[in-house]
Amino acid sequence: MNNKYDVIIIGAGPAGLECAHQLKNSDKSVLIIEKNEIIGPKICAGGLTNLANNFYIPENKTRSFAKQIIFLNKKQYNITLVNPIKTISRLDLGQYQLSKIKNSRNIQILKNTKVKEIENNKVFTID
């Protein structure tokens, strides 16, 4: 493959996909290169901080934990959180982020392709 792009994003993790989302329908041609076939899965607790509100993830894709039980010195403490802890599976997060940029006229995604080297504005890959 020998093409020119304004922006090449290496890695379709949360950062790369959000970066592409910010460029959606802009005048920049964007290529995302991801080494894996499936976008999303990762060893991760999937905890979402309040900053993740900026991603507008639909509630039905997340789980909320409002109650915490702590055992300490043989005593049980029941805590109800004002701001419940939210989690999401990384596969669901990746696929949700992907859905937001699918069919964008200026964004292409190259999966199953690992970046080997970057040199003088050129990105070299291993298929």
Ligand X SMILES: Cc1cc2nc3c(=O)[nH]c(=O)nc-3n(C[C@H](O)[C@H](O)[C@H](O)COP(=O)(O)OP(=O)(O)OC[C@H]3O[C@@H](n4cnc5c(N)ncnc54)[C@H](O)[C@@H]3O)c2cc1C
Binding site for ligand X (CB under 6 A): 10-16, 33-36, 42-47, 114-115
Amino acid at 4: K
Nearer to ligand X, 1 or 43 (CB): 43
Residue nearest to ligand X (CB): 13
Q: Which phi-psi region, left, alpha or beta, contains residue 11 (left: φ > 0; alpha: ψ -120 to 50)?
A: left
Q: From the CB of 74, what's the least distance to ligand X, in Å?
A: 29
CB of 70 to ligand X, least distance (A): 19
Centroid of chain to Cα 33: 14
CB closer to ligand X, 16 vs 106: 16
What does the chain come to in residues? 127
Which among 23, 1, 96, 112 has a CA at the least distance from the CA of 9?
23
82: β partners: none
CB-nearer residue toward ligand X: 45 or 82: 45
Nearer to ligand X, 7 or 115 (CB): 115
